[in-house]
């Protein structure tokens, strides 16, 4: 890994964390919720491809931790998405 790749990965990680924090603050913002969910999918695909496609990483605790965080976060956000949809539907019914 050269310096440019390390900085790019660092900026990507920082951007993902900012998006995730903003979603935590405004969790009812559907667009932000979907973007946050996408960041977890992107992280999961990235780490899985490094392990199984490119073989540039081994399944150590340093790689398994982000895989588990991304997997559990995706699962939790998909479950939470159902509640977000129900809440949006109830808000729509109240207006009419």
pLDDT score of 87: 79
Residues in CB range of 20: below 8 A, 6 or more apart: 36, 39
Confidence band, pLDDT 50/70/90 cuts, at residue 19: very high
Q: Is the pLDDT of residue 96 over 80?
A: no
Q: What is the pLDDT of residues 22-76, one digit of tens each?
A: 999 999 999 999 999 999 999 999 999 999 999 999 999 999 999 999 999 999 9
CA dihedral 49, 20, 66, 51 (to 10 degrees): 10
In the structure, what pLDDT confidence band is assigned to residue 86 with cuts at 50, 70 and 90? confident
pLDDT at residue number 33 = 97
CB atoms near residue 81 (< 10 Å): 14
Give 27's DSSP letter.
T
Strand stretches in 6-95, DSSP E: none
**For residue 89, what pLDDT is reported?**
75
Q: How far apart are CA 64 and CA 38, in angstroms?
A: 19
pLDDT band at 78 (very low <50, low <70, confident <90, very high): very high
């Amino acid at each position: 890994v050269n310096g440019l790749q390390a900085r790019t990965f660092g900026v990507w990680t920082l951007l993902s964390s900012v998006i995730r924090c903003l979603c935590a603050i405004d969790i009812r913002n559907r667009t932000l919720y979907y973007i946050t969910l996408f960041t977890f999918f992107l992280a999961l695909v990235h780490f899985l491809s490094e392990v199984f496609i490119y073989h540039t990483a081994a399944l150590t605790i340093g790689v398994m931790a982000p895989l588990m965080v991304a997997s559990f976060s995706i699962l939790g956000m998909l479950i939470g998405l159902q509640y977000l949809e129900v809440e949006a539907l109830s808000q729509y019914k109240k207006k009419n």
